[in-house]
Amino acid sequence: MKVIKNCAEFGIELVLAVPYAYWLHERGELEKVVTSKGMKPFYYFCNDVDEKFTDRTIDNEAAGLFELPNSWTHHNALALTGKDYSELTSDEQSKVNGVLDYSQWKLPPYKKYYENKEFNFGKTIMILNKYNVEHGHKPYGFFDFQCLVEMFTYLTEKGYTVIYKRPTNTEDGVTIDNNEAGSVYNNLDLKADVEGIGVINDHQLTKYFDNVILFDDIVKKNPKLSYNETQLKVMANVDGFISQCGGNTILACCWSVPVLCYVTQGREFRPDYFSDDSYWYKLSDSKVIPIFDFITDVPGNDENNSFGHKLNKSGRNDYSELLMKMKEEF
């Protein structure tokens, strides 16, 4: 019998720890899960879940990742090829980017388990935003006010209800990571001076649109449910997602609906990272549409190693392709 202990970042835990735990569960080999506060709904299949950890860590060993069949989200080259990633040719690297060893890996059927009529808002798109310190640097991976206004306007005019979620990182029953903790410390808030209104934040912006619902309001109206229970029940009825790359998109990919994923940095720029064999598609049969915005000012983005992506030298986000893809898909 196996005990899973994990306090990695949310998205990493969802990709690496949860599917292994469920795989063990199906074989009667899972004894217990020790995880971060708030994660029990993701391990609904386990009778013994200890929400022990109150902090998430980016230290893979301390997070418990080395005890899992896959210890790295970006590839498992060693299991797949018998070679270290650095020993592979460029073509071989492309074939393993974003690909894991799925021999001990199966995502729980969240959509079936959390199916409900209670949180049905009709034809719905959920926008998952964030505004966090990114490894010590200012935020880049977020949707700004103008982008939000264009998305809210277009989607509601097309008859969709929009559910908007942008965590403040102070939610009850949720364990935050280093970047999120830094955002709280620096009092980050997504604000703008709106003509005719004044300075407001993005949560307040939702009040100026019919059929745009702030996710936090849904949580407040359902005090008997935890934050993540509410989130999972809401997502079970959503018809599509628009999200930032990272934990938001990973969760969005669990529901077998179209997902627009806005990428501004990271190894996700590598060739074929979003191939059919990548974990993005293995999470469910979601249609994942990556939108790449290679901003050269983002720390870590090397314009001499952009993997063929168009360079954005403006120093700010370019949402034009994202908005175009939104109109094509929804």
Answer for the pair 177, 37: CB distance below 8 angstroms, yes or no: no
pLDDT value, residue 67? 96
Distance between CA 17 and CA 127 in Å, rounded? 25
pTM score of the predicted model? 0.96
Query: Domains in the chain, start-ordered, CATH in brackets?
Result: 2-106 (no CATH), 113-329 (3.40.50)
pLDDT value, residue 102? 98
pLDDT value, residue 218? 98
pLDDT value, residue 133? 76
The backbone region for 225, taken as left when phi is positive above 0, alpha when psi lies in -120 to 50, beta otherwise, is: beta
Answer for the pair 164, 130: CB distance below 8 angstroms, yes or no: no
The backbone region for 328, taken as left when phi is positive above 0, alpha when psi lies in -120 to 50, beta otherwise, is: alpha
pLDDT value, residue 170? 79
Closest CA to 100 of 76, 133, 69: 76
pLDDT value, residue 182? 67
Any idea what DSSP says for residue 303? G
Distance between CA 230 and CA 38 in Å, rounded? 12
Q: Token pair for residue 293?
A: 């915005």
Q: CB under 8 Å to 169, separation ≥6 — which residues?
A: 132, 176, 180, 181, 183, 184
- Counting as low any pLDDT under 50, the low residues of the chain are none
The percent of residues in the chain predicted with pLDDT above 70, rounded, is 98
Q: What is the pLDDT of residues 269-310, one digit of tens each?
A: 999 999 999 999 999 989 999 999 999 999 889 998 999 999
pLDDT value, residue 206? 98
